[in-house]
Amino acid sequence: MTLHASNAAAALLGGLHTFIEPAYIRTDPESCLNYGRDWTRLHTPNPLAVVLPGTIKEVQALAGYANTHQLALVPSGGRTGLSGAAVACQGEIVVSMERMNRILDFDPTDRSVTCEAGVITEVLQNFARDHGLYYPVDFASRGSSQIGGNIATNAGGIKVIRYGLTRDWVTGLKVVTGRGDLLYLNRGLIKNASGYDLRHLFIGSEGTLGIIVEATLKLTRPLREPNVMVLGIPSLDSIMSLYHVFRNKLELSAFEFFSERALRHVLAKGLHRPFETETPYYVLIEFENPGGLHTDTALNLFEHCAEQGWLADGVISQSEAQAQELWRLREDISESISGYQPYKNDIALRISRIPAFLNEADTLLTREYPDFEVLWYGHIGDGNLHINILKPADLDSIAFAKKCGGVSEHLFTALQQYGGSISAEHGVGLLKKPYLHYTRDETEISYLRAIKQAFDPNGILNPGKIFD
Ligand code: MLT
Ligand code: ZN
């Protein structure tokens, strides 16, 4: 029994069999549920079918079929997204890339790897490590997210301060456009001044312009003996002073922050407090420290910041295992609060504007929503904050979602005054679509529409995502 048992739907599904093996066309409720949603869990999945192509030719055939029959396709990676971009709730066909998961080529001279879109991030990271190299785009969902999805959202994560975003590592892309054409963009080149670089349009396009089928990615040398420090910070304002001095003296690969309220949720899951002193905020700093070369510098900085009253306590990792334990205090926050159906956010600001914005936003949220538990954490060194609000147990999901709509309006109005963006790394998808105008003006959005029209004239690719 399929979710769409009408004759028309059955005929459409029958047509798919002419170019995809039946085993890779799924209509059972469990597949439709799993593949039709992402980690947002806010929409009710309702795809017509889930298709798992195995070749580029099959992806092209799918695009052709969708154009002929006016079907909508939702490209699907690991579905770890947090903005609803991979959600299929309107009878679309989910195009899962999970079978296209081969690493196709590696070249140590180029320090580059070519892989299919369905390769899991962690598989690529391990592949690089096994070849003495490093793929530095990293985040907590590394074990499930796929390279194609990372590219489609221009994923950021925890090492952006040193290594940049996914965009900075993509040297080549194969995409099937909404017209069904196969484009091979930039061909793995470092330099290429031959006109418009279409590659960058597809990076961050959230599956609305084309389906990414293959990527060539740069690799780099691994971090040398990274050390992790966690520091307890008494006030928000001190964070930026601290950032300034640490960044001037050490090569930082991460500068993350989280609040005591956020920390309590990971402690409740069994992790240990990094040190006895409780402070309202914490920062996690990672830096290369081969052979302990920079230990004295780090400790001197610690002393200096303590004398200034910018930090109250701290710890520095003594082993790789301890560094990993400290990382978990930050990385596990998202997972530890997932049961509260949190209202999530991933705003971006210029780093210098963060303290003023944070103070304003904090005052605003405390005044307007005194009953909400608000957690702050994020990649503060990149100007990327995650504001998470937990659903109170006595409020039903619909009432909570409505109140959170009000939070967004308040927050994004303030953000706009600071010249920020409604999304730093999670993307717009469905969730932030109503708020896009806080970051992009109407003229700019009209250019986005024109680009969509050029690559996907019949609107078969991820309709209703980013903008209507
Ligand atoms: C993170 O930084 O932990 C992720 O972006 C997920 C989240 O925002 O919760
Ligand atoms: Zn994040």
**Residue 280 structure tokens:** 């309202």
Helices within 206-337 (DSSP H only):
236-249, 260-267, 295-307, 320-331, 333-336
Residue ranges of the chain assigned to CATH 3.30.70.2740: 341-424
Among 161, 256, 334, 423, name the best residue to mutate to test ligand 1's pocket (greatest count of ligand atoms within 8 A of Cβ): 334
Residues 71, 25 contacting (CB under 8 angstroms): no
379 CA closest ligand 1 atom index: 2
140 CA closest ligand 1 atom index: 3
Residue ranges of the chain assigned to CATH 3.30.43.10: 3-99
- Count CB neighbours of 159 within 10 A: 21
Please tell me the pTM assigned to this model: 0.96
Helical pair 295-307 and 236-249, crossing angle rounded to 10 deg: 150
pLDDT tens-place string over residues 182-217: 999 999 999 999 999 999 999 999 999 999 999 999
pLDDT tens-place string over residues 402-436: 999 999 999 999 999 999 999 999 999 999 999 99
Q: 28-47 burial by CB neighbour count: b if 16+ within 10 A, else e?
A: eeebbeebbbbbbebbebbb
**What is the β-pairing status of strands 170-177 and 182-185?**
antiparallel
CA–CA separation, 141 and 331 (whole Å): 9
pLDDT above 80: residue 6: no
Q: Name the helix (H) or strand (E) containing 227.
A: strand 226-233
- Residue 1: pLDDT band by 50, 70, 90 thresholds? very low
- Count CB neighbours of 442 within 10 A: 7
Q: How far is the CA of 65 from the centre of ligand 2 (A)?
A: 37
pLDDT above 50: residue 2: no
Q: How far is the CA of 198 from the centre of ligand 2 (A)?
A: 26
Rg of the chain on CA atoms, in Å: 23
Q: How far is the CA of 379 from the centre of ligand 2 (A)?
A: 6
Q: Taking the CA of residue 11 as centre, how many other CA atoms within 13 Å lie in the half-sphere pointing to its CB?
A: 4
CATH 3.30.70.2190 fits 226-334, yes or no: yes
Going by C-alpha positions, the residue among 149, 8, 48, 86 that lies closest to residue 431 is: 86
Domain 3-99: CATH architecture, name and number where available: 2-Layer Sandwich (3.30)
Instruction: Point out the ligand nearest to the CA of residue 388.
Output: 1
Closest residue CA from atom 9 of ligand 1: 334
- Count CB neighbours of 3 within 10 A: 18
User: What residues flank ligand 1, with Cβ below 6 Å?
Assistant: 140, 333-334, 344, 346, 386
pLDDT tens-place string over residues 277-323: 999 999 999 999 999 999 999 999 999 999 999 999 999 999 999 99
Fold type of domain 103-218: 3.30.465
Secondary-structure class of domain 341-424 per CATH? alpha beta
Closest residue CA from atom 3 of ligand 1: 334
**Residue 230 structure tokens:** 């966690």
Q: Mean pLDDT for the chain?
A: 96
Q: What does 238-274 look like in DSSP terms, one character per residue?
A: HHHHHHHHHHHHS-EEEEEEEEHHHHHHHHTTTPPPS
CA–CA separation, 185 and 180 (whole Å): 15
Q: How far is the CA of 179 from the centre of ligand 2 (A)?
A: 33
pLDDT, residue 237, reads 87
Q: How far is the CA of 176 from the centre of ligand 2 (A)?
A: 29
**What is the β-pairing status of strands 73-76 and 281-288?**
unpaired
pLDDT tens-place string over residues 94-140: 999 999 999 999 999 999 999 999 999 999 999 999 999 999 999 99
Instruction: Point out the ligand nearest to the CA of residue 327.
Output: 1
Q: Amino acid identity of 416? A: Q
Sign of the dihedral defined by the CA atoms of residues 50, 55, 58, 64, in that order: positive
Q: Name the helix (H) or strand (E) containing 144.
A: none
Q: Helix, strand, or coil here: 226?
A: strand
Q: How far is the CA of 385 from the centre of ligand 2 (A)?
A: 8
Residue ranges of the chain assigned to CATH 3.30.465.10: 103-218
* Cα-based angle 260, 426, 174 (whole degrees, multiple of 5): 145
Closest residue CA from atom 6 of ligand 1: 334
Residue ranges of the chain assigned to CATH 3.30.70.2190: 226-334
**What is the β-pairing status of strands 252-259 and 373-379?**
antiparallel
- Residue 30: pLDDT band by 50, 70, 90 thresholds? very high
Q: How far is the CA of 93 from the centre of ligand 1 (A)?
A: 28
345 CA closest ligand 1 atom index: 8
* DSSP tag of 337: T
Residues 18, 32 contacting (CB under 8 angstroms): no
